Amino acid sequence: MIPDTCEDRERPAAPVPTPPDLSVLVAGRTWRRNRVGEAGAAVHRLSLDGAADLYLKHGTGDVARDIADEAARLRWLAPHISTPHVVYYAADGEEAWLLTTALPGRTAYERMAAEPARAPQVAALIGGFLKRLHALPAARCPFDSGADGRLELAKARMEAGLVDVDDFDDAHTGWSAEQVWDKMIALRPTVAEPVVTHGDYSLDNILIADSPITDSHVSGCIDLGRLGVADRYQDLAIAWNCLDEFGPDAQQAFLDAYGLAELDADRLSFHLALDEFF
């Protein structure tokens, strides 16, 4: 399991083999492996005295394809929303590497965990940032992340035995993947509000600048491999669920800043169930 303490979210690591041209870019840097979301790509923070940190994602097989998806989405989103800059990307058969700049600050989760009393203020920041993201012209986004495609992939993962039932949220503890699937299908919305979604709008994927909390701001978002046009509840559900740890005041501050007067409980439940498959 991934530790909950902010201090344990990284560990020292040895460098991984890289293509020669990438090796030049990361020479002399200290490697630390990110322990959050270890089921996907290997993520390393690369540091060097007197230089800004860089982040390297590396993976093979399906993970390599996910890295390719993220590289394309980072490049598309960069002119519109603050994201890491792509320094280097390469794929070699079934293997891929993505090197990016680091955004300033700490994750929203780290901010809230360090100062729980300030959680509503941070929640308002991420609500406002999500509103900006969802305001981008969906018709100009070339990536489709809608429910139809995600349901197909969810079913394929379930049938292949790839769904981690031990990692389900509390609402589905003890459930089988098939039980969550049946619940999800029964809740499937008949309407959607398509917007440009992040796809995994969790507290670990939003960076808050390292200024005094009263003057802080969202410096950008990371982990954009699922970005695409989908119902706005794809992002709202994940953020709402993450904020539950910090209480109803934080959740309400998020909704107020986003500009949503009332949640649609069924759409929320559908998207939370769908997220269990990934």
Is residue 241 part of an annotated ligand binding site? no
Instruction: Say which CATH architecture domain 6-101 belongs to.
Output: 2-Layer Sandwich (3.30)
Closest to 54 measured CA to CA, from 103, 21, 10: 103
Residue 3 has pLDDT above 60, yes or no: no
232-253: average pLDDT: 98
First to last CA, the chain: 17
State yes or no: is 200 an active-site residue. Answer: yes
Query: Mind listing the pLDDT tens digit for each residue in 58-95?
Result: 999 999 999 999 999 999 999 999 999 999 999 988 89
Distance CA 205, CA 230 (A): 18
DSSP β-bridge partners for residue 4:
none
Domain 106-275 CATH superfamily: Aminoglycoside phosphotransferase (APH), C-terminal lobe (3.90.1200.10)
Distance CA 68, CA 249 (A): 38
pLDDT at residue 4 in the model: 47
Q: Domain coordinates of the chain in residue numbers?
A: 6-101, 106-275
Query: Mind listing the pLDDT tens digit for each residue in 177-192?
Result: 999 999 999 999 998 9
DSSP β-bridge partners for residue 88:
99
pLDDT at residue 40 in the model: 76
Is residue 204 part of an annotated ligand binding site? no
- Among residues 200, 231, 235, 275, which one is catalytic? 200
